[in-house]
Structure 1
Amino acid sequence: MAETYLIAGLGNPGDEYAHTRHNAGFDTIDLIADRLGVRYWKTEGGALTAKAVYRDTDLVLAKPQSFMNTSGGPVKQLMNAYGVDADHLIVIHDELDIDPGTVRVKFGGGHAGHNGLRSICDKLNTRDWFRVRIGIGRPPGRMNVADYVLSLPRKEAKDDFEVACSRGAEAVYSLVDHGLAKTQQDFN
């Protein structure tokens, strides 16, 4: 029986949030889906999901539709539905403390004030799962963090954002293929 990974990209549903910095997870999931030829999405467990096969590994791609702050509920429901343990969960999310255009991968850790991660920690009662962190950098000047993460990147920031999402997708394939150590060596 093939291994199954749940790959959850975090974001907010709705056109008004599409392609904002906070939706880095959704955008990265869409890139993975495009590369793997996914054409069919369905709603289950409070998320948009699609199934794909990458090499000999089954992937469940998920975009929780409950808004960022309550992402943990759909993630837990899907883990239960597909029998996925936390060590086969990969969460893709935006990260303020990483430079725009860059990606960092880790296993475990805190939520650093990220409400989507906080929700997943709370629902799973563990912090031990893979994270693909899409760097968006800090807001300029005194701009409010919420306004910044919910805004569309412009000009060179848009290029950095798209590069980071693309690298994030590559990091997911690497985690599945090579595991954490090699992926961190290549991406961190």
Structure 2
Amino acid sequence: MYIIVGLGNPGKKYENTRHNAGFDAIDKFADENGIKIDKLKHKALIGEGRIGSEKVILVKPQTYMNLSGESVLSVSQFYKVESENIVVLYDDIDLDIGKLRIRKKGSAGSHNGMKSIIKCLGTEDFPRVRIGISRPPEGWDLADYVLSKVSKEQEKDMLEGIDKAVKTIKEIVSSGLDLAMNKYNG
């Protein structure tokens, strides 16, 4: 069993913003695999489904980004899933827009959602799929930038990144993390 977590902020105000790349990837994955994300449990919207013979739990924490770990901890304890089977998708300013970086473990960097998850789980040892959103232009406040919508010029690259993230999740679940990393990193 895998728990697949997409990070973002709930509410219309935050839809399709850079910071909601994780939510967007989870939604697209759910649509492509016929999984409804419609249960409100563990401070999250949750959907359950299968990819081949593997059960997947899709999670969109509703705690707002900075408290995402509360939701992830609750879900992981309820389903009794080890950290190596918890995959987190989130936005990353250190990657060009639409690029992916898949890792088995690592620090939170400057990402508050990841800081919360690492603190609550008590480990950095869980896979993550970072979706590039690029750095803010000169003079932009970081918070304003990540909470802004992608420009028309960058929309195609962002959608390609979301598509690659969806393929990565499927590859992780069906073939394993190492194969997914070899196929989609970069």
Identify which range, 25-34 or 176-185, moves more after superposition.
Answer: 176-185
TM-score, normalising length from structure 2? 0.97
From 6, 9, 12, the counterpart of 2:9:
12
Q: What's the counterpart of residue 142 of structure 2?
A: 145
2:30–2:37 Cα contact (<8 Å) kept: no
Q: Shift in Å at residue 180 of structure 1?
A: 2.2
Query: What is the alpha-carbon distance in structure 1 between the residues aligned to residue 55 and residue 178 of structure 2?
Result: 21
From 42, 46, 50, the counterpart of 1:49:
46
Q: Does 1:168 align with 2:169?
A: no
Query: What is the alpha-carbon distance in structure 2 between the residues aligned to residue 106 and residue 62 of structure 1?
Result: 19
Aligned-partner SS, 2:3? strand
Residue identity (%): 39
Q: Shift in Å at residue 156 of structure 1?
A: 2.1
Aligned-partner SS, 1:177? helix
From 126, 131, 140, the counterpart of 1:129:
126
1:22-171 to structure 2, matched below 5 A, reads: 22-39=19-36, 41-171=38-168
> What letter matches 2:170 in structure 1?
Y
Aligned-partner SS, 1:71? helix
> What letter matches 2:39 in structure 1?
K
TM-score, normalising length from structure 1? 0.96
> Structure 2, unaligned stretches of length 5 or more?
none
Q: Shift in Å at residue 78 of structure 1?
A: 0.3
Moved over 2 A (4+): none
Query: What is the alpha-carbon distance in structure 2 between the residues aligned to residue 135 and residue 175 of structure 1?
Result: 19
Query: What is the alpha-carbon distance in structure 2 between the residues aligned to residue 120 and residue 32 of structure 1?
Result: 22
Q: CA RMSD in A?
A: 0.9
The 1:40/1:18 distance shift into structure 2, 3 A limit, reads: closer
2:51–2:174 Cα contact (<8 Å) kept: no
How many pairs does the alignment contain?
Answer: 185
